[in-house]
Amino acid sequence: MTSEMTGTPAPQQPADDTAADALPTPEAELDSCKAQLEDALAQLAAAREGQLRAVADLDNVRKRAEREVGNATRYGSEKLLGELLGVADSLDLGLAAAAKADVHASSLAEGMQLTYKQLLSVLEKNGVKPVDPAGEVFNPDLHEAVSMLPSAEVAPNHVLNVMQKGYRLHDRLLRPAMVIVARAPDGGS
């Protein structure tokens, strides 16, 4: 029988016992620590896997970039060279025509002129422009002077003759023009 039925008061438990019951037991604390450790280990494993994936992705990007740079270096001139094949074909036809016994110099000159125009067109399409400075002021950034000659017709320090044209690729000089520069005539001022 319970104390309620008998009318006897139930023994009072000290207030300290209820506080002791509220504190976790060492086993419960150990279980909680184990759960936290397992959670931390799972997070660590996920972080390691993520890091390995990131390193692998970065390595793949690096390898792909190296491959693309290699291909760009190796095949970057493919378009230009494909266009130059037409010029080579024209030269082949001109050489075959020149080997014939009944060829005229005028027809050879005409064929060479057409081939030259075709070559200039290919160069221009690819950003190459000639530097032909006849009569211009000598510019050491664009011209290479091979000599100076006295001239009464051309002002001093101007290009008198162009021995070889120069060429630019967009804004960069590929080859300077080889020129003869005018100087003041001897005995004049």
pLDDT single digits (tens) 152-187: 999 999 999 999 999 999 999 999 999 999 999 886
Asked whether residue 13 is assigned to any structural domain, the reply reads no
What lies within 8 Å, CB to CB, of 182 at 6+ separation is 148, 149, 150, 151, 154, 155, 156, 157, 158, 159, 160
Cα separation, 116 vs 177, in Å, equals: 18
Residues 167 and 186 in one domain: yes
> What pLDDT does residue 114 have?
93
Cα separation, 88 vs 118, in Å, equals: 10
Asked whether residue 17 is assigned to any structural domain, the reply reads no
Residues 91 and 122 in one domain: yes
> What pLDDT does residue 189 have?
47
Residues 187 and 134 in one domain: yes
> What pLDDT does residue 16 have?
53
Low-confidence ranges of the chain (pLDDT < 50): 1, 189
- Here the CATH number for the domain that contains residue 132 is 2.30.22.10
Boundaries of domain holding 47 = 26-75
Closest CA to 135 of 118, 160, 167: 160
Asked whether residue 9 is assigned to any structural domain, the reply reads no
Record the tokens describing residue 176, joined without a space: 């300077």
Asked whether residue 52 is assigned to any structural domain, the reply reads yes
Number of structural domains found in the chain: 3
- 3-class SS string, 134-159: CCCECCCCCEEEEEEEECCCCCCCEE
Residues 70 and 88 in one domain: no
Residues 56 and 81 in one domain: no
